[in-house]
Homo-oligomer: A and B are copies of this chain.
Amino acid sequence: MEDRFLKWLYERMSFFKKPLLVGVGDDCAVLAPQKEKIVVTTDTILEEVHFKPDTSPEDVGYKAASVSLSDIAAMGAKPLVLFAAAALPYKHSGGYAKRIVEGILDALGMFGVQLAGGNYALWSYPAAVTTTALGVSAKPLLRSGAKPNDLICVTGSLGGSILEKHLRFTPRVNEALYLSQNYKINAMMDISDGLALDLSRMMEASKTGCIIFESKLPISEDAIRLSKKDGISPVRHALSDGEDFEILFTMPKQEAKRLLNDKKIRIPISVIGEVSRERAMYFVRANGKKERLKPEGYIHGKRVGDSLKRRDCRNW
């Protein structure tokens, strides 16, 4: 019996490390029991929605794996294995699936994560790639733990991801794991649908509100570049652009002070505001003017308003 893709994949994946006891090739992958809790996430990226028809398959695979790794990071957990399921258009050559797998392995390789199983099926429509990642954590960090007076922090810089970063971002796995192991973090999540929208979800889940300062927002170079193209201010891009895949977290003030002096963290960490008891979100402009912060985001290029009625994606 000859099946080139499977033969290629089995050879490419022939080395399993613990805790993966059985990887590709059987009905299920098998994992050894872990002392820590197991965290699981699943995500889908779609052609024409999350990537373009001419995006390279390596970039598609890299992004598909990275969005799930970002969710594992968002729990302060260590990713272990990933599963990939793809619907692929007939029109592509046989090499397309392999090249997607190579992109997936690029992303997994950064963190020693193993590809443990999956499937693909051909059809007459654009590509859809779903990844499921498993990780472990002694104490997973939820989005619901923010406490009044916590400081609100973000990694990296925000906005303009659509220009380039959304395809080849580095999931904040190492940083979030380091934070979870060395600091008292009360709430953590990744920023996938825009800071303001994801922040509103964290505040909602934590039954708290917040105040955010314009002057403290880490605005990316790409947000500024994009602003010059579309006339929307860099600040608004930083507040509402999707797919930053940075980490949003809250911690007590003393902990934040310690963190800002930690030389082991190699990426920028910004304190952008504070959690409040009042369940409303405020935004303080650079000129001192205080206004309501709307939970708006741009999801895959579509503006999402307060009501979220126009949202086309749901993660649960």
Residues of A within 8 A of B (CB): 1-3, 5-6, 9-10, 21-22, 24-44, 46, 48-50, 71-72, 74-75, 77, 81, 83-87, 90, 97, 116-126, 128, 130, 132, 134-135, 137, 140, 142-144, 189-190, 200-201, 204-205, 295, 306-309, 311-316
Q: Are A25 and B316 in contact, with the CB atoms below 8 A?
A: yes
Tell which of B43, B83, B307, B316 touches A42, judged by Cβ atoms closer than 8 Å. B83
List B contacts of A1 (CB < 8 A): 200-201, 204, 295, 306, 308
Number of copies: 2
B119 touches A316 (CB 8 A): yes
Kindly name the residue among A2, A10, A190 whose own CB sees the greatest number of chain B CB atoms within 10 A.
A2
Cα–Cα, bound, A118→B29 (Å): 20
B44 adjacent to A27 (CB under 8 Å): no
8 closest A-B pairs by beta carbon, nearest first, are A27-B74, A28-B39, A130-B130, A24-B316, A125-B125, A28-B41, A31-B38, A132-B132
Q: Which of B10, B29, B33, B74 contacts A41 (CB 8 A)?
A: B29
Among candidates B3, B26, B311, residue contacting A75 with C-beta atoms closer than 8 Å? B26
Of the candidates B2, B27, B189, the one whose C-beta lies within 8 Å of that of A27 is B189
Main secondary structure of the interface of A (DSSP, over half): mixed
For the complex, give the distance between the alpha carbons of A309 and B3 in Å: 7
Neighbouring B residues of A313 by C-beta, 8 Å: 119-122
Contacts of A118 in B (CB 8 A): 42, 315-316
A3-B44 contact, Cβ under 8 Å, with A30-B75, A32-B37: no
Shortest distance between the CB of A3 and any CB in chain B (Å): 5
Taking a contact as CB atoms under 8 Å apart, the answer to whether B30 and A39 are in contact is: yes
Q: Say which residue of B30, B117, B134 sits within 8 Å of A316 (CB atoms).
A: B117
B117 touches A44 (CB 8 A): no
Give the chain B neighbours of A83 by CB distance below 8 A: 40-42, 132
CB distance from A216 to the nearest CB of B (A): 24
Residues from chain B with a CB closer than 8 A to the CB of A32 are 37-38
